Each structure stands twice: as structure tokens, then as C-alpha cells.
Amino acid sequence: MRIIHFSDTHLGFSDLDVVNSDGVNMREADFYKAFSDIIDAILKEKPDFVIHSGDLFHRASPTNRAITFALSQIARLDSAKIPLILIAGNHEAPKSRALAPILKIFDSFKNVYVAYNQNAEIFEFKDINFYALPHINSEETIIKELERIENSIDLDKKRVLIMHATVGAHYLMHEFGEWVYPKDKEYLFGMFDYVALGHWHGFSGLKKFNNVYYAGSSERTSSNDIRSNKGYVTLKIDNKLSVKHKAINLRKFLQFKIDATKLDSQLKELDLSEIDGAIVEVTLTNLDINLSIEIDNSYIKSHFEGASFVKIKREIIQSSSGTIENVEALTLQDYFLEHIDSQIEDEEQKNRVINKAKELFSIVNSEGESG
């Protein structure tokens, strides 16, 4: 029996103030491409089942574009009659009962089995059962649902447990609504042939168990995530479990550290063989305040022709204390806009506030030039 497991696709995620030729945020489009690449692979490999272990969407109320894209891609699996078992993660799960679960849009698909309510679902097939535990807001309810799963296990069939959770301190994401699986319930893992986990963004098998795996995310949601193991998991459940991770191609993310006192020479020595279309992060080190003022962002960016985006960070040495403070070389306007971007989740509201801020800054800047 062959299964493909993927997770944390975060459709609708956007980042960086860059749009592509279609007017779509570049990073948002990257997430769509990663998703469609995995669907392409599934249709080529033709597994018996597909699992998505949560955070299909980045938000509980995704944009129309994210919704229509997801519907069109899931329809490809549905048409191919490949069963998909899908659960809600903490990102797309409604925070109140007043909101309808977004995953409800898949209810009409014949070959899509979705767990999004505040309870576990058991999807039964001829030779295998899937025990799907979506993100649940109540800790008390989660424990009751785990007990219900334990009491419903059919030992005459293959068994897969699907969850979106943190199992062990190493896999903490420090996110709002994150659920930590109770240690005293870990014995349940031994009752399943495979445990499909979502939430952690790197492919990883839990050392204590030979059948518990995070599929990882399909793309990077942070510049701190430099892992290249983004893709999906293929597994065979026969007499012995076989698990293999398959990576997909992503936009290159390149990081460079440059000693500001040797700026020109080190810029010339950089390996830029993979620069085309890449996201670049440059960290300037060994800076004091005066040297930092002298170095212009545009001068540094001019050395990375072909990159899709260049982000510059500066490590300023504080002479009085000897400590280093990580700061980004931003104008007041840039700093303010980045703050808005990080604080407002709703895309329409965010764009409205950003556009208003840009308008106000343009007035201030024009008055400053005329003065």
C-alpha cells in the first residue's frame, strides 16, 4: 500500500514587497507553485492514498485567489480518484464558533475526506483506517478525542493516525494556538502503522519512534528557515514500513556575510552563480555607526543583479558596551511599513493601511524636499 504525505502548504502566504508579471505577490506565487508541483508528482506516482496533515491555508479566512487555487488543485486529485485525507491545522482552524471552517469547501468532493470540526474523524476503507485529529481549540476535548480514537482502533486493518501538533520540545514553533501532544499519550503511536504529523516545517522522523514523521512544509515561511528539505513523503505500509522524503525545487535563498571594513573586496569575491531569481540576505558585520551611515543600501544591491529581492541586515558594534545589535538598514518609512506587515494578518486591511502610510510618507518627503 503506497501513500503520499505532505503538509503545511500555507496557501495564501505572502511576504516581501515584490510582485510577479501577473501582479501577484512573488512569494505567494512561490507557494502556489510548490503546491502544484506536489500535485503533479502525486498524479504521476498514483499512490493509493494521499494525506495532508494540516495548514493547507495560511489563514482561517484566506483570499479568494488562495481558495480558488486550492479548489482547482484538489479537483485534480478528485478527478483522478485518488483519496485525499485532509485535516485542519492551527493556521486555518477558526478561533471562534462564529466562523465557518474554510475546509468545508471540500465537502462536495467525492474523494476528499476532511476533518475540520472540533472532533476526530475516522475514515474507513477496505484495508486501512485513517484516524484524523484536526486542530481543536479545547485541551479537554482533545484528550477525550484521543481516548475515543484509542477505543476505536481496528487491529485487523492497517492504521494511520493524522495530527497537527508538537510532539516533544524540539518541535515547538512558538505559535499562537500551538498544541503540544501530551507525553503520557505517546504510547498510542505504537498502535499505528504510521503517524502523519503536521506543524513542524522540516521533514523529520521522531527518534523515539520508527513510525512517526513530520512531512515538513512545502515552502519557507521565514528567512530563518534555510532548510532545503521541502517536499513530500512517500511511504509503503506492507509488512515493514518504508519512508522516503522527496524534495521539490524551490526559489534559491542565498545568505552572505560581509565584513563592512572590507566591503568592496568581499563583494567582488562572492559566488553569484545561483543569483538569478534568488532571494538574497546580506549581513554586514564589523560596523560602527559612522561606517554604517557611509554605506548605502543601493550600492550593495547593485552587486546582486538578477536577484528577485535583496534584504540587508547590519550588525552594529556598540562601542560603549562591546555588544552587537542586529538591525536592518531601513529608512523610517521602511521600518514603519515592515511593522505594519508583521502586525496585520488580514490582507485587505494590511494593504489599505500600507497604502495610506505610503501616501502620508510621500507628503512628508515632498514637503521636506521643498523646504
For 68-92, how does the pLDDT look when each residue is reduced to its tens digit (9 = 90+)? 999 999 999 999 999 999 999 999 9
What are the DSSP E strand ranges found in the chain? 2-6, 49-52, 84-87, 112-115, 121-124, 128-133, 158-164, 194-198, 204-205, 212-214, 231-237, 241-247, 253-259, 279-287, 309-317, 324-328
Of 251-265, 278-292, 320-334, the range with the lowest mean pLDDT is: 320-334
> Rounded to whole angstroms, what are the CA distances from 254 to 38, 168, 259, 262, 302?
24, 30, 17, 20, 16
Mean pLDDT value across residues 284-301: 92
pLDDT of residue 328: 55
Better-scored residue on pLDDT, 228 or 285: 285
pLDDT at res. 332: 57
pLDDT at 125: 98
Contacts of 224 (CB under 8 A, 6+ apart): none
Can you tell me the mean pLDDT for 339-345? Answer: 74
pLDDT band at 94 (very low <50, low <70, confident <90, very high): confident
Domains and CATH numbers, the chain: 2-247 (3.60.21.10), 253-370 (no CATH)
The Cα 207–Cα 204 span in angstroms is 9
Q: Is the pLDDT of residue 181 over 60?
A: yes
Q: Name the grid cell of 238.
A: 506492507
pLDDT of residue 126 exceeding 80: yes
Q: Is the pLDDT of residue 368 over 70?
A: no
Which is it for the CA torsion 89, 91, 95, 99, positive or negative? Answer: negative
Q: Are 197 and 215 in contact (CB under 8 A)?
A: yes
- In this predicted structure, what is the pLDDT of residue 290? 87
Q: Is the dihedral of CA 283, 287, 288, 293 positive or negative?
A: negative
Q: Give pLDDT, residue 371.
A: 43
Angle at which helices 64-79 and 26-45 pack, to 10 degrees?
Answer: 10
Output 367 or 163, whichever has higher pLDDT: 163
Residue 246 has pLDDT above 80, yes or no: yes
Higher-scoring residue by pLDDT: 196, 364: 196
Kind plus residue range of the DSSP H or E element containing 106: none
Question: Which residues, in sequence order, are bridge partners of residue 132?
Answer: 121, 162
- Amino acid in position 65: R
Is 50 exceeded by the pLDDT of residue 267?
yes
Mean pLDDT, range 309-330, rounded to an integer: 71
**Average pLDDT over the chain, rounded to an integer:** 90
Give the long-range contacts of residues 98-104, CB within 8 A, separation 24 or more.
99/60, 99/61, 102/57, 102/60, 102/61, 102/62, 102/67, 103/56
The per-residue pLDDT for 367 is 46
Residue given cell 476505536 in the structure block: 152
Rounded to an integer, the average pLDDT of 335-340 is 71
User: For 356-361, what is the mean pLDDT?
Assistant: 74
Q: Nearest CA to 128 among 32, 238, 206?
A: 238
